[in-house]
């Protein structure tokens, strides 16, 4: 009985990569599967696909008249799979990756033998270059396995599932299909896992071809495309937290008199942090809202602008600090985060710190995190680039307002 459904979207692809991908699927040790190949508005690819399939009766080719993108092609493919009521397990594969013979058998086995609430399983994978040579060393694979084995809750922070996966059709039926390009998979996992549990398999089951010519990752190399990807990545996490009723944990306050390359660089540096459960308020101190006009062009789902015309930065910060509702607040200064994990580290340290700690911050050499205490003098003269407890920031500013200088 055929109980596994596989979808492969195909747009433009190197013939050699396409042939290798299709052969790897056709040669699976588990043979009871249905393969739907969706030609996504690239009619020149259909003769190649049919040639490489060699008349395999398990495969069906669906051609779309125009390019609908990965999400549209996947939704078309899975809609075709819904015609087969016996198919219980779904996955999709790329037209340039190579899937080991045990790929389907291993993933299906874990799903079929697992508890009812288990809805998605995923595995490790090797990265290869265009010549098919492995990229990751054993040490790198070990680090990847550790990263992917994180708890389900941490899926909200990063896409730990990766590119090797299978899930139950019954749970897929509870959510809408794929969308939110170019983070279709990640957004899908966040929605799917609100209904089921997940399980990691710490073994490599496929080769992932990194940045091949026609891959999605290759299209994201430009700065503008990276911005689009980053916006969608943050939006997927923000939407998931909204659905789950999770309030922001940090409010970022960024006072600015003028916009320019440095302001853009600094706020984009914030957006690259792994920690994402925050609100960002840009405090626009310009007389003509120029800061708002310029920085709002860099889309971000949790950034808002507060206009404080003819107001000093310290006064604006004091007003804004008293509006904060999240447990922590952070005054963004001109000093960039040196590592993408900085905000995560500071947050985790504050969560463990005693109540006598007002805030924490990195030392100038970035070698350790220091603390500001309620009962001890502190030699840090400014409050920028420092993570405060919510009320501590407002109280500190009220007590020291007359001696504080405006942010640069």
Q: Which of 214, 216, 239, 236 is nearest to 226 (CA)?
A: 216
pLDDT at 378: 64
pLDDT at 99: 98
pLDDT at 404: 76
pLDDT at 248: 98
pLDDT at 400: 84
pLDDT at 218: 60
Q: How far apart are the first and last CA of the chain?
A: 69
Tens-binned pLDDT, residue by residue, of the chain (408 aa):
999 999 999 999 999 999 999 999 999 999 999 999 999 999 999 999 999 999 999 999 999 999 999 999 999 999 999 999 999 999 999 999 999 999 999 999 999 999 999 999 999 999 999 999 999 999 999 999 999 999 999 999 999 999 999 999 999 999 999 999 999 999 999 999 999 999 999 999 999 999 766 655 566 578 899 999 999 999 999 999 999 999 999 999 999 999 999 999 999 999 999 999 999 999 999 999 999 999 999 999 999 999 999 889 899 999 999 999 999 999 999 889 999 999 999 999 999 999 999 999 999 899 999 999 977 666 677 899 999 999 999 998 998 887 777 665
Q: Which domains does the chain have, with CATH numbers?
A: 4-227 (3.90.550.10), 247-403 (3.90.550.10)
pLDDT at 402: 79
pLDDT at 159: 94
pLDDT at 215: 57
Do the Cβ atoms of 14 and 213 come closer than 8 Å?
A: yes
pLDDT at 216: 59
CB atoms within 10 A of CB 311: 17
Torsion 396-399-405-407 (CA) sign: positive
pLDDT at 407: 67
């Amino acid at each position: 009985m055929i109980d596994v459904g596989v979808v492969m979207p195909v747009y433009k692809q190197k013939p050699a990569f396409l042939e290798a991908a299709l052969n790897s699927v056709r040669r699976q040790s588990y043979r009871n599967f249905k393969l739907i190949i969706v030609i996504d508005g690239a009619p020149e690819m259909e003769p190649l696909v049919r040639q490489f399939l060699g008349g395999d009766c398990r495969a069906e080719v669906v051609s779309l008249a125009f390019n609908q993108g990965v999400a549209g092609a996947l939704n078309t493919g899975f809609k075709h799979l819904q015609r087969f009521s016996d198919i219980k397990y779904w996955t999709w594969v790329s037209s340039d990756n190579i899937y080991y013979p045990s790929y389907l058998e291993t993933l299906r086995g874990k799903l079929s033998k697992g508890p009812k609430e288990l809805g998605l399983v995923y595995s490790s994978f090797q990265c290869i270059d265009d010549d098919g040579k492995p990229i990751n060393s054993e040490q790198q694979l070990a680090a990847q396995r550790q990263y992917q084995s994180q708890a389900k809750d941490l899926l909200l922070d990063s896409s730990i599932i990766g590119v090797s996966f299978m899930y139950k059709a019954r749970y897929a039926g509870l959510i809408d299909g794929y969308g939110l390009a170019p983070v279709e998979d990640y957004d899908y996992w966040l929605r799917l896992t609100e209904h089921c549990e997940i399980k990691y398999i710490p073994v490599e089951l496929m080769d992932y071809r990194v940045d091949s010519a026609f891959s999605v990752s290759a299209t994201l190399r430009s700065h503008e495309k990276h911005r689009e990807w980053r916006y969608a990545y943050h939006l997927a996490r923000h939407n998931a937290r909204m659905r789950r009723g999770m309030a922001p944990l940090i409010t970022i306050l960024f006072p600015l008199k003028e916009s320019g390359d440095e302001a853009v660089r600094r706020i984009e540096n914030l957006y690259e942090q792994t920690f994402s459960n925050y609100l960002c308020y840009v405090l626009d101190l310009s007389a003509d809202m120029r800061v708002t006009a310029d920085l709002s062009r860099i889309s971000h789902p949790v950034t808002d602008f507060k206009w404080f015309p003819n107001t000093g930065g310290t006064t604006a910060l004091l007003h804004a600090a008293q509006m904060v509702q999240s447990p922590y607040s952070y005054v963004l200064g001109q000093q960039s985060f040196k590592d993408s994990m900085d905000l995560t580290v500071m947050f985790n340290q504050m969560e463990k710190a005693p109540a006598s700690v007002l805030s924490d911050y990195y030392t100038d050499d970035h070698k350790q995190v220091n603390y500001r205490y309620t009962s001890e003098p502190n030699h840090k003269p400014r409050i920028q680039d420092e993570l405060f407890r919510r009320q501590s920031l407002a109280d500190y500013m009220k007590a020291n307002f007359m001696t504080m200088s405006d942010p640069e």
